[in-house]
Chain A
Amino acid sequence: MSAPVPRHPPRLSPEARPRMTLILRIGLLAALALLVVALVAYLLEHPGATSASALASNPILHYLNLPGLAAGLAGGRPEAWMTLGLLVLLATPLVRVLTGTYYFHQDGERTMTAITVVVFLLLLVGILVIGPFLP
């Protein structure tokens, strides 16, 4: 038996594919730009630093909460800007999932909309609940 022939073409809007491509590209470029600039700034600010000191303590620990991150960004701290770069990198796939939710909802596909909403919520639970509250 050969592969079955679809009864009709895939229903997801043709706009979804270019939009997702654009989101992935913009997210990646923004994250990498932030990381490069902040990393260079950090190295210039710590001329005598060694790999041992860098591995002994994570420099972004103080910026992993909203008030700390906001204060660090406002104060131009390279560590805060590196944290922002990592967050943009992390957020890019989440925005891609939300884009899927939008197009499935627009096409009236309840089950697929629900699946993408559940995936998005699980990702948020990981970042906002599981990670910060693990022992």
Chain B
Amino acid sequence: MDLGLFVLLIALAAILAGLVGSLTGLGGALIVIPVLVIAFGVDFPTAAGAGLMTILATSSTTGAAYLRDRLTDLRIGMFLEIATVPGALVGAAATVFLTHANLEDALLIALGCVLFAIVPVSLAHRTEELPTGVVPDARSERLGLWGTYHDTALDQDVDYQAARTTPALGVMFGAGLVSGMFGIGGGVFKVVALEHFLRMPMKVATATSNFMIGVTGAAGAGILLAAGFVNPLVAAPAAMGTALGAFLGSQLLPGLRNRTVRLLFLPVIAGLGVEVVLRGLGIA
């Protein structure tokens, strides 16, 4: 295929992925990476490198918007990055090692399994608008992991405080590992940790997760870029397209970003997972 057309098609696919990723809250990289592998014949490490660059672009787009809306908890986000960043470093290093050991197929199968895992996690995830019965732990007290935001829908100021920080840090390490290893944002896992362990309100959890994804992505992207796995002819159109798609998604149809839209696209994620696993097994 002509290179110009190749770049253009990746950009168009990425715009669509960014739009869907924004509407579902799952992130564009989750769709871009399997599409690059399946439709464009990109090898997995290069697709993962492009995915991480995509995350950097979209997190700067959405992260800035959430910061402006004062929903992001800067203190809690930066505290949790102490766990996501080492996770991402380990994950990205593992991808480099496994690629050099000619175990790319194993990585593809593992990616397919992660795509599968996202489906039940998303289905089982019951969001609680405002958590009750929160018992803050000692670390939360010591570091002042609490805050207030104005909920426009409820038209009231909402106070919250983090609980169970130790298991949350463990889940965040795992989310970082998945992000660095597969090039996805891992936002689904981060939001679960923020809501279920730290007991943060839903809106603050989503905004804080978006805020953190950029730094987690940078940890993995740094390793894959330095190792030569970020090809700008793939990563640049993917990052630009996804950022544009995410921007359009946030501007044009904000009312659609809800659980129903996510449920509509979960079969797509599962289908991509099946295809990726089949590729890893050498069947597709």
Q: At the interface with chain A, which of B21-29, B110-118, B212-220?
A: B212-220
Q: Can you name 24 A-B residue pairings with CB atoms under 8 Å?
A: A1-B132, A1-B133, A3-B161, A5-B159, A10-B75, A17-B68, A21-B64, A36-B240, A38-B232, A50-B3, A51-B1, A54-B3, A55-B234, A58-B229, A60-B231, A90-B221, A93-B56, A93-B218, A97-B81, A116-B78, A119-B215, A122-B89, A125-B89, A134-B97
Interface centre among B7, B93, B134, B226 (most CB of A within 10 A): B226
Query: Is the pair B56, A122 in contact by a Cβ cutoff of 8 Å?
Result: no
Report the bound CA distance from A74 to B31 in whole Å: 37
Query: Is the pair A10, B144 in contact by a Cβ cutoff of 8 Å?
Result: yes
> Given A82-B232, A115-B78, A32 and B57 touching (CB < 8 A)?
yes
Q: Is the interface of A mostly helix, strand, loop or mixed?
A: helix
Contacts of A92 in B (CB 8 A): 56, 60, 214, 218
Query: Is the pair A118, B82 in contact by a Cβ cutoff of 8 Å?
Result: yes
Query: 8 nearest interchain CB pairs?
Result: A131-B226, A127-B222, A51-B6, A28-B60, A49-B3, A82-B232, A131-B223, A93-B214
Contact of A72 with B by CB under 8 A: no
Residues 228 to 280 of chain B near chain A (Cβ within 8 Å): 228-237, 239-240, 243
Contact of A89 with B by CB under 8 A: yes
Query: Is the pair B240, A32 in contact by a Cβ cutoff of 8 Å?
Result: yes
Separation in Å of the A103 CB from the closest CB of chain B? 9
Measured CB to CB, the residues of B under 8 A from A are 1-4, 6-7, 40-43, 46, 53, 56-57, 59-61, 63-64, 67-68, 70, 72-75, 78-79, 81-82, 85-86, 88-89, 92-93, 96-97, 100, 130-136, 142-144, 146-148, 158-161, 199, 214-215, 217-237, 239-240, 243
Q: Is the interface of B mostly helix, strand, loop or mixed?
A: helix
How many A residues touch B, CB cutoff 8 Å?
A: 70
The residue that A112 contacts in the complex, of B59, B63, B78, with Cβ under 8 A, is: B78
The residue that B42 contacts in the complex, of A24, A46, A55, A86, with Cβ under 8 A, is: A55
Query: Is the pair B2, A50 in contact by a Cβ cutoff of 8 Å?
Result: yes
Residues 14 to 64 of chain A near chain B (Cβ within 8 Å): 16-17, 20-21, 24-25, 27-28, 31-32, 35-36, 38-39, 42-43, 46, 49-55, 58-61, 64
Contact of A123 with B by CB under 8 A: yes
Separation in Å of the A56 CB from the closest CB of chain B? 10
**What would 13 more interface pairs be, CB under 8 Å, given A3-B134, A6-B148, A28-B57?**
A3-B158, A10-B146, A24-B63, A39-B233, A59-B231, A64-B226, A86-B225, A90-B218, A111-B142, A115-B81, A119-B81, A126-B223, A127-B226
Contacts of A112 in B (CB 8 A): 75, 78-79, 143
Separation in Å of the A73 CB from the closest CB of chain B? 14
Report the bound CA distance from A61 to B131 in whole Å: 49
Interface centre among B41, B133, B231, B234 (most CB of A within 10 A): B231
Contacts of A2 in B (CB 8 A): 132-133
Separation in Å of the B139 CB from the closest CB of chain A? 10
> Given A90-B225, A112-B75, A119-B81, A28 and B231 touching (CB < 8 A)?
no
Report the bound CA distance from A10 to B143 in whole Å: 11
Minimal Cβ-Cβ distance residue in A for B2: A50
Query: Is the pair A24, B148 in contact by a Cβ cutoff of 8 Å?
Result: no
Contacts of A27 in B (CB 8 A): 60
Separation in Å of the B2 CB from the closest CB of chain A? 6
Report the bound CA distance from A50 to B41 in whole Å: 13
The residue that B64 contacts in the complex, of A25, A38, A54, A64, with Cβ under 8 A, is: A25
Contact of A132 with B by CB under 8 A: yes
Contacts of A85 in B (CB 8 A): 232, 236
Separation in Å of the B91 CB from the closest CB of chain A? 11
Report the bound CA distance from A46 to B233 in whole Å: 12
Query: Is the pair B78, A119 in contact by a Cβ cutoff of 8 Å?
Result: yes
Contact of A67 with B by CB under 8 A: no
